[in-house]
């Protein structure tokens, strides 16, 4: 019976079913590209948020990058108008940081909220604490990633989750 367990554990490892999301994503080329794309979107998102004024920059969401066309989602027409005024600035910043962006398209998504307002607007009773296994996986990903912005985001998630568990 123990031999059967060891064989199954080894076969799970061989298939890339590790303990973390990063292990799972890095296991094959298709999932690896997904992780690379997410990291690239996260990087571009951070660059835009840093470069633009707080309410506008944090309301943007990078939703696509296809053949040099960056697609940014915003929550309203007012945000779209402001971002359209700043497309040259955004483009120059991204090119200076090594991103291949030829064109920027703005997409209005009415339900989209900025990260600042989303955190403040969420009702405390709708939040749930993470399970022990999820916390462990997020902590391991935070410690093993080379992406500083991702590590900081994971640290905030873990910190907020710890506060929820204590209350």
What is the residue-wise DSSP string for the chain? -HHHHHHHHHHHHHTT--SSHHHHHHSSHHHHHHHHHHHHHHHHHHHHHHHS-HHHHHH-EEEEEETTEEEEEESSHHHHHHHHHTHHHHHHHHHHTT---SEEEEEE-TT---HHHHHHHS-GGG--PPPHHHHHHHHHHHHH-S-HHHHHHHHHHHHHHHHHHH-
Over residues 38-88, the pLDDT tens digits come to 888 888 988 888 877 667 778 889 999 889 999 999 998 988 998 898 889
For residue 33, give both structure tokens: 């590209």
Contact partners, residue 164, CB within 8 Å, separation at least 6:
127, 128, 129
For residue 119, give both structure tokens: 């955190």
Q: CA-to-CA distance for 137 and 158, rounded, in angstroms?
A: 11
Domain segments of the chain: what residues?
13-113, 122-167
Q: Decide if domain 13-113 falls under CATH 3.60.15.10.
A: no
Task: Indicate the range of 9-13, 17-21, 97-101, 135-139 predicted with least confidence.
Answer: 9-13
Of 162, 103, 139, give the one whose Cα is nearest residue 21. Answer: 139
Q: How many CB atoms lie within 10 A of CB 99?
A: 16
pLDDT at 142 over 80: yes
Average pLDDT of span 128-149: 81
For residue 34, give both structure tokens: 């997904």
Q: What pLDDT does 23 receive? A: 66
């Amino acid at each position: 019976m123990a031999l059967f367990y060891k064989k199954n554990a080894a076969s799970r490892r061989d298939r890339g079913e590790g303990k973390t999301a990063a292990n799972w994503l890095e296991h094959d080329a298709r999932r690896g590209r997904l992780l690379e794309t997410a990291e690239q979107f996260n990087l571009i998102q951070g660059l835009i948020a840093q470069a633009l004024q707080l309410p506008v920059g944090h309301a943007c969401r990078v939703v696509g990058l296809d053949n040099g066309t960056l697609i940014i989602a915003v929550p309203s027409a007012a945000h779209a108008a402001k971002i359209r005024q700043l497309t040259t600035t955004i483009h120059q910043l991204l090119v200076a940081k090594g991103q291949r962006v030829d064109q920027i398209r703005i997409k209005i998504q009415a339900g989209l909220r900025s990260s600042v307002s989303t955190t403040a607007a969420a009702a405390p009773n709708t939040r749930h604490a993470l399970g022990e296994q999820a916390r462990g996986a997020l902590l391991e990903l935070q410690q093993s990633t080379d992406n500083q912005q991702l590590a900081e985001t994971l640290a905030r998630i873990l910190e907020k989750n710890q506060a929820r568990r204590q209350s």
